[in-house]
Structure 1
Amino acid sequence: MISRYSDGAFHSSHQLFTKAGDGLYNVSFCGTNYWTRPRTVAWMQWETENGRNVNVEFNGGKGWLRVCLDPQEQVKLADLGIGSDYTVVLALDEDELAHSERFSKVRKGLEDYSNSGRIGDSYHKR
């Protein structure tokens, strides 16, 4: 995954994987399956919002070949089941993100339940 300035000059890159691994999510860019970290998906959005072009590129020894244009339009954090803002994902490491998302999912699961507002009896009042 390569980010380039509007003139085509290299800016930065992230690695895509062809095999599953810890902390990796299966995604598809232009019909090809890859494995990636959530941070890479968040990075794609950061790069495009800052005016750079992101593409999936391959170098087979004869220069860089673009194999998929605009991957940020094909995969979003929500597709990975991550509800956090991309800036949060960029700021957290993978373990912190998993911890953060776990509590986010618990909170979302409890949203439909309400509290009567009545203070319950304590153990000592019984």
Structure 2
Amino acid sequence: MSFTLIKTILLLCTANLFMLFAWYGHLKDLHQKPLWIAILISWGIALIEYCFQVPANRIGFTQLNLAQLKILQEVITLVIFVPFAVMYMQQPLKWDYLWAGLCMMGAVYFIFRT
């Protein structure tokens, strides 16, 4: 695995963690606050996310095509989402996560085969 791909994966993982908090963290932490406060805080978190996402995509696009970059992003999203949902949002672990993961592995196989 190349250093470029490793850097891309690490940046995408970091970006995804921030984006999950921007998208879903307010459901747990700000549900009592007015919507406009949740929106502003989520925008601020999303700005940080973009500081990782944009470089990850630029770096990754030097070795991956657009479809590969997108599937990589989706797999990372699922890998980061499951622990976030279970540990932070206190959601039950479901078999659906495993089935979704297996479907994503199929997508990885088809998009990365040469």
**TM-score by structure 1 length?**
0.23
Greater fraction of residues in strand? 1
Answer with 1 or 2: which has the greater Rg.
Answer: 1
Greater fraction of residues in helix? 2
Q: Structure with the greater relative contact order (CA < 8 A, sep ≥ 6): 1 or 2?
A: 2
**TM-score by structure 2 length?**
0.25
